[in-house]
């Protein structure tokens, strides 16, 4: 895949149903003068097709569809550990990936949500199991157990979000951030990518070393969020958005 021009990268909004930040995201994408990479955990506990979620997030879906039809600015969705099997994106003409190598302005970038590189065993087991049993999880998530699963997921997500609402580089988070940083530079060497971009750890950063770059898009809180901007000459900036 190849893209030329300016790129915005957003991750870890963790939108819940009836979340007021949904309009902020729709407005952000609609007004963006750039291609947009959504780097996972945009939605909270959305697995496969889900009519209730589609109704609640109809404004965002409408923006996705409108942008896809215009074909002027690409939207690319890299699924996270809270939102996956989003097959409805394909109906709209939006590319969805677990990971992606994208040539941007003639440089090779590697994109992943990042949880598989965080060193957290539970994340790796969970994601690998889910990704290998797509039909089963689609059936369970959208069948009779849907509401119970989503309620449990929302509760666990609330605990996670509360813990991560003001992330700081210390303790377990420091270890996770270091794991992701080390993996990023290893991937850059192995895959000959000049830039590796993750989300997941909620810590926005841009780090350069020996001709390689690692960047993290951070997260969106209650009234302010971070995102990355890749300029047309491939400089990477951490930006903020208020809503």
What is the three-state SS of 129-156?
HHHHCHHHHHHHHCCCCHHHHHHHHHHH
Report residue 221 as tokens. Answer: 């809180």
Measure the CA dihedral 81/85/90/95, to 10°.
30
Pairing of strands 7-10, 224-230: antiparallel
The number of C-alpha atoms within 13 Å of 176 and in the hemisphere containing its C-beta is 23
Cα atoms in the 13 Å half-sphere on the side-chain side of 185: 13
Distance CA 69, CA 84 (A): 23
The pLDDT of residue 97: 95
Output the CATH code of domain 2-242: 3.60.21.10
Angle between helices 134-141 and 146-164 (to 10 degrees): 100
Give the bridge partners for 240, in sequence order.
226
Q: What is the pLDDT of residue 71?
A: 75
Ranges of the chain with pLDDT below 70: 123-124, 130-171
Give the residue from 122, 123, 125, 136 showing the smallest Cα distance to 85: 136
pTM for the predicted model, two decimal places: 0.85
For residues 142, 10, 105, 192, the Cα torsion angle rounded to the nearest 10 degrees is: -70
From the list 220, 193, 224, 233, the residue with the least C-alpha distance to 10 is 220
């Amino acid at each position: 895949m190849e893209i030329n021009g300016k790129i915005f990268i957003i991750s870890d909004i963790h939108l819940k149903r009836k979340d007021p930040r949904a309009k902020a995201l729709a407005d952000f994408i609609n007004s963006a003068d750039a291609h947009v990479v959504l780097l996972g955990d945009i939605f909270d506990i959305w697995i496969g097709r889900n009519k209730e979620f589609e109704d609640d997030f109809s404004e965002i879906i409408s923006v996705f569809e409108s942008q896809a039809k215009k074909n002027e600015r690409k939207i690319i969705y890299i699924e996270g550990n809270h939102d996956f099997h989003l097959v409805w994106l394909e109906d709209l003409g939006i590319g969805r990936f677990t990971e992606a190598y994208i040539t941007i302005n003639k440089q090779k970038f590697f994109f992943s949500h990042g949880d598989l590189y965080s060193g957290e065993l539970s994340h790796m087991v969970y994601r690998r199991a889910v990704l290998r049993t797509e039909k089963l999880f689609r059936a369970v998530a959208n069948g009779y157990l849907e509401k119970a699963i989503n309620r449990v997921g929302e509760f666990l997500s609330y605990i996670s979000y509360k813990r991560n609402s003001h992330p700081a580089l210390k303790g377990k988070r420091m270890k996770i951030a270091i794991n992701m940083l080390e993996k990023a530079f290893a991937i850059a060497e192995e895959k000959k990518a000049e830039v590796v971009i993750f989300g997941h750890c909620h810590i926005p950063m841009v780090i350069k070393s020996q001709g390689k770059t690692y960047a993290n898009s951070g997260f969106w809180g209650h009234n302010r969020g971070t995102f990355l901007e890749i300029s047309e000459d491939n400089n990477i900036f951490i930006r903020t958005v208020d809503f």
